[in-house]
Structure 1
């Protein structure tokens, strides 16, 4: 079986496994998977910016907030009166999702004159201001965001089919499909589309140009790559990915509040890239799943783990969220020490190790059993000792 066939079988097997959870797992794991999908979409965007284009951003949470609140505002209808009045356009949810992604891209494009001229740490400090500005706007723009209390997220609908709890009696293989089961498949489609688009972008001419710009700006300029324009384009595309991830995150939460999109979220996304591996779409996926799922696992199994307690528990111990941060903080340190290429480098090392083992075995087979001489009376060139002495 050749390598391409094995790869196709692995892809088919992965797709089949991802289609099965709504039929077998409960709501907790489905919602955890949806959080992971939203993180994967947004992490792919940050990976394109940081890993492919070599730009650092600490404001990724701001663009997730633009996508989440943008979708909510575009899809929601006006409600409430007086100080509690909430505005909205009441667009169809699919159009609201597209508009939210475009809005996040526009926000990134407005910042692109800065992102096109700054590099590395300087861009990171500049984008840090976006998070604080975003928090101020989210808390004070009550008519759009709902203020501190946030606002409910309208469910996704497509051609009259609702991806939320509905009384339509939908049952598949004896399993009643509620909102999480339906939203699972919508999240899979969105994640697959984001992954395929990023993969094609990295392998195409724009990806090669951004990679050249990351490796050497002087060499890229010699090859005719306009540095400022490609940096601005990378930032805009990354913002659109963050907007799509934020919209999916809002659909999974069903209610969003400003505290969700703080500086901690931006740092989490940087941890995803470092743990998963910079410059790789697969690395962004692996890191996003690791960092997102770990806190939920610790929360779910808090009563079975030593020194870890569930949130709000009166018992002394380490809160599950804090324990998760300690663990993937330790994972960050270990990754930097022993796996500089991230988790994805483990998969890349396997073929190399296989080639080394095959080469070693071939060398052992060709080497005579007694070193330079194959026997006591025969030299390495096959002549007997008697012929040499005569």
Structure 2
């Protein structure tokens, strides 16, 4: 009697391979984008270069916040505090005291490195609290950093200059000073914005690649496990408290680096800039761009930081938007309305953020895979 086999074998799933033409297209797009970014200082005026530098600094800071909030699930409302530590730390380390404010007169490249490290130390001091709290409780605790930072910035006048702020010494690296003294390249005068453009690109690329390596490696898997199920992550051997503290320090160092770049672009630091509104802007960046994604942080940062600049530039051509005090909606206020609406739209209709649109376009269809 023949034996009837009732159990059906499940066919082995073939690995999904990206079609060659999609890979080549993506490579060509990256190459074209790199060439475009390198050539922009030869064609754009100072306004657009500064706007691009603001976007680069915002992308660096948003990448750090995405490691903390998007990948590890720790809500932070105090990101602006660590940007202020980086910005003012650079001024203190690099300042020469000629303006009557405290300055150590260190080489500016060393001052930038030390400012980033000090921001990391500040994050390390707060990390025990971050390791014990989560959710809204951690958000409220980090919000306290904003109030403490604002009090220090306004009252420690010898260090910060008080309400008036303090000048930012220009960066000097390999004999090149990133100031307004013109350097002619291919008959194009390069001022501070043009020089800082390439420094910003290097910092953004290095920060993005490092964060991408963290997220794609073992630390990234541990961070996602902590975000999705903290108790289960501890059961399988993930040192939850250690990882949460380490990510908080790393995120603070990214914020410190963004603060240094912002200070160099502004050429003057003022306490009012590093308030709660800036922290909310960074949260909007990672939500709009995509939580837990390096490219999503860059997309969200570009959207949130460039929108006020564009509205300010073209306020005369836009309805209801006008200069402050003229009766219409100020460009900054209009920008907050727009990216506030964008946050709601993304949460409701595109939970993965704007980066998901690009991911869907690059995903091979079943017909292409076969």
What is the TM-score with the length of structure 2 in the denominator?
0.92
**Alignment RMSD:** 1.4
Q: Could you tell me whether the CA contact under 8 Å between 1:49 and 1:56 is conserved in 2?
A: yes
Counterpart-to-counterpart distance in 1, 2:360 and 2:366: 11
- Structure 1 residue 350 displacement after superposition: 1.9
Structure 2 partner of 1:304: 317
- Structure 1 residue 356 displacement after superposition: 5.5
Structure 2 partner of 1:345: 356
Are 1:54 and 2:73 matched, yes or no? yes
Structure 2 partner of 1:286: 299
SS in 2 for 1:318: coil
Structure 2 partner of 1:124: 139
Structure 1 partner of 2:186: 173
Deviations 1:265-287 (A, max 9, x none): 00000000110010111111100
- Structure 1 residue 357 displacement after superposition: 6.8
Are 1:138 and 2:153 matched, yes or no? yes
SS in 2 for 1:260: helix
- Structure 1 residue 171 displacement after superposition: 1.6
The number of equivalent residue pairs is 351
SS in 2 for 1:116: helix
Q: Could you tell me whether the CA contact under 8 Å between 1:299 and 1:311 is conserved in 2?
A: no
Structure 1 partner of 2:25: 6
Q: Which runs of 5 or more residues in structure 2 are unaligned?
A: 1-19
Are 1:65 and 2:84 matched, yes or no? yes
Counterpart-to-counterpart distance in 2, 1:259 and 1:18: 31
SS in 2 for 1:86: coil
Counterpart-to-counterpart distance in 2, 1:34 and 1:309: 24
Q: Which has the larger radius of gyration?
A: 1
Structure 2 partner of 1:384: none
Structure 2 partner of 1:39: 58
What is the TM-score with the length of structure 1 in the denominator?
0.87
Q: Which runs of 5 or more residues in structure 1 are unaligned?
A: 363-390
Structure 2 partner of 1:373: none
Counterpart-to-counterpart distance in 1, 2:231 and 2:266: 45
Are 1:330 and 2:330 matched, yes or no? no
Q: How does 1:1-390 map to 2 (within 5 A)?
A: 1-80=20-99, 85-166=100-181, 170-312=183-325, 315-352=326-363, 355=365
When residues 14 and 351 of structure 1 are mapped into structure 2, their CA distance, relative to the original with a 3 A threshold, is closer
SS in 2 for 1:225: coil
Counterpart-to-counterpart distance in 2, 1:316 and 1:128: 33
Q: Could you tell me whether the CA contact under 8 Å between 1:151 and 1:255 is conserved in 2?
A: yes
| Structure showing greater relative contact order (alpha-carbon pairs closer than 8 Å, 6 or more residues apart) | 2
Counterpart-to-counterpart distance in 2, 1:138 and 1:302: 32
- Structure 1 residue 172 displacement after superposition: 1.7
